[in-house]
Structure 1
Amino acid sequence: MEIAEATVERWDDVQTVFGTRGGAHHCQCQRIRLGDRAWWYMPAEERAHELREQLDPPPDAPTFGALLGYVDGEPAGWVAVAPRTTFVRYRGSQVPWAGRHEDKDDDGVWAVTCFAVRAGYRKRGLMYELAAAAVEHARTRGAQAVEGYPIVPDPGQQITWGEVNVGTPGPFAAAGLTEVSRPTKRRRVMRLDL
Structure 2
Amino acid sequence: MAITVRPVDEDRFDDVQTVLGTRGQPARCQCQGYRMGWYDMHSPDVAGRRELLRDQVIEGHGLVAYLDDDEGDEAQDEPVGWCSLAPRRDYGYLRKTTWNGRDEDRADPGVWAVTCFVTRAGYRHRGVSRALAAATVDLARTHGARTLEAYPMRPAPGKEVTWGELHVGKLSSFLDAGFRIVHEPSLRRAVVRYDY
For normalisation by structure 2, the TM-score amounts to: 0.88
In the alignment, the residues of structure 1 paired with residue 157 and residue 66 of structure 2 have an alpha-carbon distance, to the nearest angstrom, of 32
Shift of 1:42: 4.4
Asked if residue 77 in structure 1 is aligned to residue 73 in structure 2, the reply is no
Residue 139 of structure 1 aligns with an amino acid whose one-letter code is: R
Contact 2:179 2:194 in 1 (8 A): yes
Residue matched to 2:33: 31
Contact 2:28 2:42 in 1 (8 A): no
Asked if residue 19 in structure 1 is aligned to residue 21 in structure 2, the reply is yes
Secondary structure at the residue paired with 1:12?
Answer: helix
Structure 2 residue corresponding to 1:68, chosen from 48, 64, 70: 64
Residue matched to 1:124: 126
Residue 65 of structure 2 aligns with an amino acid whose one-letter code is: G
In the alignment, the residues of structure 1 paired with residue 36 and residue 123 of structure 2 have an alpha-carbon distance, to the nearest angstrom, of 28
Runs of 4+ in 1 over 4 A off after TM superposition: none
Contact 2:8 2:58 in 1 (8 A): no
Shift of 1:152: 2.1
Structure 2 residue corresponding to 1:87, chosen from 91, 94, 98: 91
Structure-2 change in CA distance of 1:19 and 1:161 (3 Å): same
Shift of 1:11: 2.0
Shift of 1:30: 0.8
Contact 1:108 1:144 in 2 (8 A): yes
CA RMSD of aligned residues (A): 1.6
For normalisation by structure 1, the TM-score amounts to: 0.89
Residue 47 of structure 1 aligns with an amino acid whose one-letter code is: R
Q: Could you tell me the percent identity over the aligned residues?
A: 46
Shift of 1:168: 0.9
Gaps of 5+ in 1: 58-63
Contact 1:80 1:134 in 2 (8 A): no
Residue matched to 2:167: 165
In the alignment, the residues of structure 1 paired with residue 54 and residue 32 of structure 2 have an alpha-carbon distance, to the nearest angstrom, of 11
Deviation by residue 1:131-158 (Cα, 9 ceiling, x = unmatched): 1111110012211111110112344332
Gaps of 5+ in 2: 69-76
Shift of 1:53: 2.9
Deviation by residue 1:18-38 (Cα, 9 ceiling, x = unmatched): 122222112111101222233
In the alignment, the residues of structure 2 paired with residue 133 and residue 155 of structure 1 have an alpha-carbon distance, to the nearest angstrom, of 26
Secondary structure at the residue paired with 2:158?
Answer: coil
Shift of 1:46: 2.5
Contact 1:66 1:78 in 2 (8 A): yes
User: Which one is further off, 70-79 or 21-30?
Assistant: 21-30
User: Which one is further off, 123-132 or 48-57?
Assistant: 48-57
Contact 2:28 2:41 in 1 (8 A): no
Shift of 1:9: 1.7
Contact 1:24 1:162 in 2 (8 A): no
In the alignment, the residues of structure 2 paired with residue 25 and residue 119 of structure 1 have an alpha-carbon distance, to the nearest angstrom, of 13
Residue matched to 1:48: 50
Aligned length: 186
